[in-house]
Structure 1
Amino acid sequence: MKKLYALLPAALALGLAGGSALAQEAATAVAPAVEAAAAAPIVEKGDVAWIMTSTLLVLFMALPGLALFYGGLVRSKNMLSVLMQVMVVFSLIAVLWVFYGYSLAFTEGAPFIGSLDKLFLSGVTIDTLADTFTDNVKLPEFAFVAFQATFAGITGALVVGAFAERMKFSAVLIFSVIWFTLCYLPICHMVWGPGGMLLDDGALDFAGGTVVHINAGVAGLVGAYMVGKRIGFGREALTPHSLTLTMVGASMLWVGWFGFNAGSNLEATSGAALAFINTLVATAAAVLAWSLGEALFKGRPSMLGAASGAVAGLVAITPACGSVGPMGAIVIGLLAGFVCLWGVNGLKRMLGADDALDVFGVHGVGGILGAILTGVFTAPSLGGTGAEDFSIAGQVWIQTYSVLITIAWSAVVAVIAYKVADILVGLRVPEEEERQGLDVSAHGETAYHH
C-alpha cells in the first residue's frame, strides 16, 4: 500500500506533464486558425447596401439632378439639348468605364496611370473584392466599379454646362471620349489609384475636389474659350427659362451628394456619418453666404443665387468632408458662398469667357477653395481628423501642388480634345441653327408646346 502511495505523485506528475503537452499542441494547432480567421476578408452586408445606395444617389445627382439644374438655366429652345447632352455623356462614359476606364484608374501601374490588367473587367467576378479604408474589410468589386462609374459619368456631364446652347452634339461626344481617356483617368489614378503619384505624396481628396470639380471646371473654361461666345452674349439678355426647374435640380443635387460624399467612405461607419453631417451644414452655410452676398452687393438675394450657393457649398466640402469637423465644414461653406459669388461675377468678367452655366466659377473655383482649405481644417486643433503631428503649412502645400497639377493636366488635354473634335466635325453649330435653338436643329424636338 505504501508503494502505491509512493507511485501516485509520480503518476500525477506524468499526467500533468502529458496534459500540458497536449494543451500546448492544441494551442499550437489553434493559433494559425485564429490568425487565418482574423486575416480573412470581411464583407459586411451593411457596407454593401450603403455603397449600392450611394451609387443610386450619385446617379440621381446626374439624372435628373444635374440635367434639370442645367436645363432650367438655358433658354427654352435649348432645354432638351442640355438634357440630352447630360444623359448621353453620362451613359457614354459609364460604358467606357467598364471597358477600360476602371482598369486604367484602379490597377497598379505607373504613378500617372494604371494598367490594362482589367480591360473589359477581365478577372472581375461576383467573388472578387475591392478594398475599403479598413485593412480586412472588403466590398464586392462589382459594387465598387459601379460606384466609381457614376463619378466618372457626372464629371463628364458637368463640363457641358460651359459650352451649352452652341456646340455640336457630335463634337460634345468626341470631346468627352478623349478628355475622359486622357484626363479624367490619369487624374483619378494619381489621386485615388494604387501607386498614384498624388496619393503617395499625401494629397487629401476624400470625394473628388480635384478629380471631379477642378478637373471639370478647367475643361469647361477651356471649352468656353475655344467654342466661342453665344450669339448675343453681352448684348442680349440670355436669361434662364425656368428657375423653378433649376431649384428642383439643385435640391436633387444636394440629396444625391450625400451618396457622393458619405458614400466615398466606402463603409457604413462613423466616417460616413462625419461626411454626411459635413455635407449638410457646409451646403446650408454656403446658401446663406451667397444670399447675404447678393443682398449686400446687389441689393436683394435671388433664388438663382441660393441654388448656386448650394452647389458651391457642395463642391467646396467634397474634398474635405471626411477629414474636417462640422465647424470647419461650416467655415468652408461660408467662404465658398462668398468666393464663388465673386467667381461667377467679378472673375467671370475678368476672364471674358462665355462660361454659359458657370462651370468654372462654381466647380473650378469652389473645388480649388475646398481642396486648399482641406489642408487647413483637417488639423486636429481645428476639429479635424489629422494626426497629432499634422502640419497645416505642409498639407496646404501638398494640396496646392495637387490643384496645380490638376489644372495644368486638364487644360492641356482639353485643348487637344476640343481641337480634335473641331478637326473631325467642327465644334460649333451654324449661326442659323443656334438662333433656331438646338432642341429643334439637333434633335428635332421641343421641350414645350405652348
Structure 2
Amino acid sequence: MNSGDTAWVLVCAALVLLMTPGLAFFYGGMVRSRGVLNMLMMSLGAIGVVGVLWVLFGYSMAFATDVGGWGLLADPFENFGLAGLLGEDSLSGTIPSLAFVGFQAMFAILTVALISGAIADRAKFGSWMLFAALWATVVYFPVAHWVFAFDETDDAGNVTAVGGWIANRLAAIDFAGGTAVHINAGAAALALALVLGKRKGWPKDPGKPHNLPFVVLGAGLLWFGWFGFNAGSALAADGVAAFAAVNTLVATSAAMLGWLLVERFRDGHATTLGAASGIVAGLVAITPACSSVTPLGAIAVGAITGAICALAVSLKFKFGIDDSLDVVGVHLVGGLLGTLLVGLFASDVAPAGVNGLFYGGGFDQLWRQAVGAIAVLVYSFVLSLVLAHVVKAIAGFRASAEDEAAGIDEAEHAEAAYHFGDDRSARRASVAADADDRKLEGSRA
C-alpha cells in the first residue's frame, strides 16, 4: 500500500461526492421556483439508493470475477456486502480495496443523478427512486464492468481475471467515464423524456431558470469536484493525475468560450446560463480523453464540444422532446463527442500512449471509440425505455396535471423552497407595529 496514493484517492472520492450536491444546485437553479426542492431531492435520493446498492452488490457486479469470461457481467455475490475486501491486506493496486470501492461508488451515484434533469417538474419522487434502483442495477453496474474493469494478469502476463469487454477486448479509451457515465446517463435521459412526455405548456412556456446564481454555484462545485473525478481516476498521486488535471482545466475553459461564442453570434449576447452550461459540456467531453490528448488537444476537444453542444440543446424544440434541463444535449452529445474525438486528437505523448487520426494513428482508435460509444448508447436507451415503462405500470411515473400545475414541491414533498408571501406579511406586520409605536410615543409626548 502506498499512503500517498491512498490519501489522494480518498480525497478525490470526497470531491466526486460533492459533485452530486453541486449537480443538485445546477439543476435546481434551472427549474421554476416551485420545483427546486424536487430537483434537489432527486439528486439526494440517488445518493441514498445507489450508496446502499453499491455496497450490497453493485461493486461486485462491476468489479468481481467475470461471469463466463465474456466481459459482460461480474458475479454479484462474490463480494456481496463487500465480503472479501475488508481485510488490511486487501489491495487494489497500491491502495486499499475499500478506497477503490468508495471512489467508484461516487461515480455510480452521480451517473444516476444526472438523468433526473430530463424529467424536471413532472415526475413522482417515489417512482424516480424505484427507477434509480432498477437502472443502477440493470444498466449502470454492468456498463461499469464493461468500461472500468481491467484484466488482471500475473507476472508472466497471463490473464488471471477477466475484465470488461470495452476496456480490454475492444481497447477503447475511456479514462474516467465518457461512455459509462455521460453517454449512459444521456441515453437514459432521452428514454425518460420520451416516456413521461412534455411538461404542460411546453414549448410555448419553456420555464425560465428561477435562480441563476444557484446554476453558477452548481457549475463551480461540479468543476471543483471534477478534478477528483478525472485526476483521481489515475488512482495514484502521479504524473498521470497531473496530466488529467491540467486537461480538465483547459478543456473546460475552452468549452465555455466555445459555447459563449455561439450564443454571441447566434443570439447577440452571451449568457450566464450559457457559461455554466459550457463549463459542464467541457467537463463531460474531457472526461474520456484527459489521459490521451495533450493540453493543446484538450483545447480543441473543449472548444468543439462547447460549440456543438450549444447548438445541440436547441434541437429538442425541433424534435418535440422535452428534455427539461438539456441532459441529452450536454451529456449525451458531449459524451459522444469526447469519446469520438479521442480517435482524432489522441497523441502518444499523453499517458495513454496512443495516436489518433490527426497524429498518424489512422482510423484504428476511432472505430474502437465509436463501437464502445454506440454499444453503451443502445444498451442504455433500450433498457431505460423498458424500465421506465415497468415503473409507469407499477406505480405511475408522471405526477398528475393538478400537482404539476400547483408545483411538484408541494405535491411530492409538502414543502416550498421560498415563502415570499409569509415574508411580505411579516414585513407588513412589522411596519404596522412600528407605526403604532410611533403613534404611542407621539401621544406620550
Scaled to the shorter chain, the TM-score interval is: 0.7 to 0.9
Q: Say yes or no: does 1:150 pair with 2:106.
A: yes
Q: CA–CA distance in 2 between the matches of 1:172 and 1:430?
A: 15
1:392 to partner: Cα distance: 3.9
Q: Is the 8 A contact 1:130 1:140 kept in 2?
A: yes
Q: Is the 8 A contact 1:46 1:268 kept in 2?
A: yes
- 2:438 aligned partner: none
Q: Deviations over 1:105-135 (max 9, x none)?
A: 0012131110121011111114143434xxx
> Which residues of 2 match residues 360-439 of structure 1 at below 5 A?
360-380=328-348, 385-387=352-354, 391-439=361-409
Q: Deviations over 1:145-166 (max 9, x none)?
A: 0000000000000000000110
Q: Is the 8 A contact 2:346 2:355 kept in 1?
A: no
Q: Deviations over 1:60-86 (max 9, x none)?
A: 1112x1000000000000010110111
- Residue in structure 1 matching 2:37, options 59, 73, 80: 80
Q: CA–CA distance in 2 between the matches of 1:130 and 1:355?
A: 42
- Residue in structure 1 matching 2:73, options 113, 118, 143: 113
Q: Is the 8 A contact 1:75 1:238 kept in 2?
A: yes
Q: CA–CA distance in 1 between the matches of 2:14 and 2:268?
A: 40
CA separation of 1:349/1:130 partners in 2, compared to 1, >3 Å: closer, same or farther? farther
> Which residues of 2 match residues 19-168 of structure 1 at below 5 A?
43-63=1-21, 65-110=22-67, 111-115=71-75, 116-132=77-93, 138-168=94-124
SS of the aligned residue for 1:108 comes to coil
CA separation of 1:322/1:426 partners in 2, compared to 1, >3 Å: closer, same or farther? same
- 1:249 aligned partner: 218
Q: Say yes or no: does 1:324 pair with 2:324.
A: no
- 1:444 aligned partner: 414
CA separation of 1:424/1:270 partners in 2, compared to 1, >3 Å: closer, same or farther? same
CA separation of 1:237/1:359 partners in 2, compared to 1, >3 Å: closer, same or farther? closer
How many residue pairs align between the two structures? 400
Q: CA–CA distance in 1 between the matches of 2:19 and 2:66?
A: 31
SS of the aligned residue for 2:122 comes to coil
Q: CA–CA distance in 2 between the matches of 1:112 and 1:351?
A: 34
- 2:247 aligned partner: 278
Query: Which stretch of the first structure deviates more once superposed, 112-121 or 363-372?
Result: 112-121
SS of the aligned residue for 2:289 comes to coil
- 1:357 aligned partner: 325
CA separation of 1:207/1:392 partners in 2, compared to 1, >3 Å: closer, same or farther? farther
Q: CA–CA distance in 2 between the matches of 1:307 and 1:265?
A: 26
- 2:259 aligned partner: 290
Which residue identity does 2:275 align to in structure 1? Answer: A
Which residue identity does 2:86 align to in structure 1? Answer: T
- 1:35 aligned partner: none
1:417 to partner: Cα distance: 0.9
Which residue identity does 1:410 align to in structure 2? Answer: S
Q: CA–CA distance in 2 between the matches of 1:414 and 1:244?
A: 32
- 1:335 aligned partner: 304
Q: Deviations over 1:36-58 (max 9, x none)?
A: xxxxxxx1111111001100100
After the TM superposition, list the runs of 4 or more consecutive aligned residues in structure 1 that deviate by more than 4 angstroms. 387-390
Q: Is the 8 A contact 1:316 1:333 kept in 2?
A: yes
- 1:214 aligned partner: 183
- 2:273 aligned partner: 304
Q: CA–CA distance in 1 between the matches of 2:20 and 2:74?
A: 26
Q: Deviations over 1:247-301 (max 9, x none)?
A: 1100110000000000000000000000000000000001111111100011110
Q: Is the 8 A contact 1:379 1:392 kept in 2?
A: no
Q: CA–CA distance in 2 between the matches of 1:131 and 1:348?
A: 43
- 1:33 aligned partner: none
Q: CA–CA distance in 1 between the matches of 2:208 and 2:96?
A: 46
Q: CA–CA distance in 1 between the matches of 2:351 and 2:64?
A: 30
Identity of aligned residues (%): 44
Which residue identity does 1:234 align to in structure 2? Answer: P
Q: CA–CA distance in 2 between the matches of 1:95 and 1:328?
A: 39
Q: CA–CA distance in 1 between the matches of 2:91 and 2:175?
A: 17
Q: Is the 8 A contact 2:260 2:270 kept in 1?
A: yes
Q: Is the 8 A contact 2:281 2:305 kept in 1?
A: yes
1:388 to partner: Cα distance: 7.2
Which of 1 and 2 has greater Rg?
1
Q: Is the 8 A contact 2:250 2:295 kept in 1?
A: yes
Q: CA–CA distance in 2 between the matches of 1:145 and 1:403?
A: 25
Query: Can you give the 5+ residue segments of structure 1 that lack an aligned partner in the other structure?
Result: 1-42, 133-137
Q: CA–CA distance in 1 between the matches of 2:258 and 2:411?
A: 40
Q: Is the 8 A contact 2:131 2:391 kept in 1?
A: yes
CA separation of 1:148/1:370 partners in 2, compared to 1, >3 Å: closer, same or farther? same
1:351 to partner: Cα distance: 3.0
SS of the aligned residue for 1:232 comes to coil
CA separation of 1:385/1:189 partners in 2, compared to 1, >3 Å: closer, same or farther? closer
Q: Deviations over 1:160-209 (max 9, x none)?
A: 00001101111101111111111101111011114211112101100000
Q: Deviations over 1:325-354 (max 9, x none)?
A: 100000000001101001101x32333210
TM-score for both structures, normalised by structure 1 = 0.87
Q: CA–CA distance in 2 between the matches of 1:223 and 1:351?
A: 15
SS of the aligned residue for 1:48 comes to helix
Query: Which stretch of the first structure deviates more once superposed, 294-303 or 87-96?
Result: 87-96
Query: Which stretch of the first structure deviates more once superposed, 194-203 or 251-260?
Result: 194-203
- 1:15 aligned partner: none
